[in-house]
């Protein structure tokens, strides 16, 4: 599909286009990644489901943002984008957003120990400068959610966890404190909503910006996608069992099939069987329906 705007950034599974000086279009594809590779087989509806989830979360998180004097970047989505010249085939997978000056840190909140957090913890008993109690294992719930920021890696690299002082260096002390406080508040509200829907929101990554202004002192603006399975770890609450890696709510069929086939971490990533694609699509749709209480159409 050709988009009548200039491409300004491209991620593994999404693209960003410039609509005008003040606005961007974020377009989510149906591509899926696993074990750091983008698979050649798309998952039908994934882009539309993740876009609908982000849009829903922006609405849910409005009160938390307002309490913190913050805003979000979403301007419009869906059919309203036809008036902006977005092709009908893309409206469902696109968000029109305010163009921000993005802050150069990834704002990670963790309520559970997993992945690189577990590795760090096993080495040092902490995640960078955030100490954790003894006795935690992969999948443990943390006594309190923690802010574990990271740098934005170059394409092909992994984000690297940084101490809070690194955030202070990057954005200043006041803004760093505001990022930590808002990130944790957004995570707590997201995790509470997810828990009510039978989903553990183990961790997530937010990106913030500020509106371009000469003074540069505007409010924090929540950007990017929010609380999707691509920016977060979603686990089914029913199978949560600390002590081993938890099944991913969305990607477990893909991971299991790649592992069973001996094709995890093998290049080039293989085509997925139809049944794995269908089961994975069902999981994305289920996540949407379970979280929002709305029927997917
Ligand atoms: C976010 C990214 C994606 C690749 C640019 N509101 C904003 N203002 C300015 N910049 C951005 C945003 Cl969201 C922005 N990214 C991350 C998103 C594909 C990279 F869809 N890049």
Of the residues 33, 102, 156, 159, which should be mutated to test ligand 1's pocket, given the most ligand atoms within 8 Å of the CB? 102
Residue 287 CB contacts under 8 Å (≥ 6 apart), including other chains = 49, 53, 199, 229, 234, 249, 250
DSSP state of 64: H
Between CA 38 and CA 32 the distance in angstroms is 6
The residue-averaged pLDDT of 14-43 equals 97
Per-residue confidence (pLDDT) for residue 170, from 0 to 100: 98
Quick one: pLDDT band at residue 156, thresholds 50, 70, 90? confident
Q: Ligand 1: does its nearest atom lie under 6 Å from the Cβ of 47? A: no
In percent, the amount of the chain with pLDDT more than 90 equals 95
Per-residue confidence (pLDDT) for residue 216, from 0 to 100: 65
- Residue located nearest, by CA, to atom 21 of ligand 1: 9
Q: Full-prediction pTM beyond 0.85?
A: yes
Q: Which residue has the tokens 């199978």?
A: 239
Q: What is the 3-state secondary structure (H, E, C) of 224-240?
A: CCCCCCCCEEEEEHHHC
Q: Ligand 1: does its nearest atom lie under 6 Å from the Cβ of 64? A: no
pLDDT digits (tens, 9 = 90+) for 87-136: 999 999 999 999 999 999 999 999 999 999 999 999 999 999 999 999 99
């Amino acid at each position: 599909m050709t988009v009548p705007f200039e491409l300004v950034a491209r991620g593994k599974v999404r693209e960003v286009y410039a609509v005008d000086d003040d606005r961007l279009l974020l377009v989510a594809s149906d591509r899926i990644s696993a074990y750091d590779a983008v698979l050649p087989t798309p998952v039908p509806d994934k882009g539309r489901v993740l876009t609908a989830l982000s849009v829903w979360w922006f609405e849910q998180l409005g009160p938390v943002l307002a309490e913190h004097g913050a805003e979000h970047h979403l301007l419009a989505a869906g059919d309203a984008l036809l008036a902006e010249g977005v092709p009908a085939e893309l409206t469902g997978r696109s968000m029109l957003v305010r163009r921000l000056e993005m802050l150069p840190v990834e704002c990670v909140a963790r309520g559970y120990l997993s992945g690189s957090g577990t590795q760090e913890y096993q080495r040092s008993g902490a995640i960078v400068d955030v100490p954790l109690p003894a006795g935690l294992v992969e999948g443990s719930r943390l006594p309190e959610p923690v802010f574990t920021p990271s740098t934005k890696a170059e394409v092909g690299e992994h984000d690297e966890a940084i101490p809070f002082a690194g955030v202070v260096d990057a954005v200043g002390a006041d803004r760093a404190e505001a990022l930590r406080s808002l990130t944790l508040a957004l995570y707590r509200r997201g995790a509470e909503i997810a828990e009510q829907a039978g989903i553990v929101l183990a961790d997530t990554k937010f990106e913030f910006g500020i509106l371009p202004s000469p003074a540069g002192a505007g409010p924090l603006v929540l950007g990017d996608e929010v609380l999707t399975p691509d920016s977060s770890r979603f686990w089914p609450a029913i199978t949560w069992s600390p002590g081993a890696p938890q099944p991913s709510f969305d990607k477990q069929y893909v991971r299991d099939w790649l592992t069973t086939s001996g094709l995890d971490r093998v290049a080039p990533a293989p085509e997925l069987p139809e049944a794995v694609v269908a089961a994975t699509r069902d999981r994305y749709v289920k996540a949407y329906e379970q979280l929002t209480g709305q029927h997917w159409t």
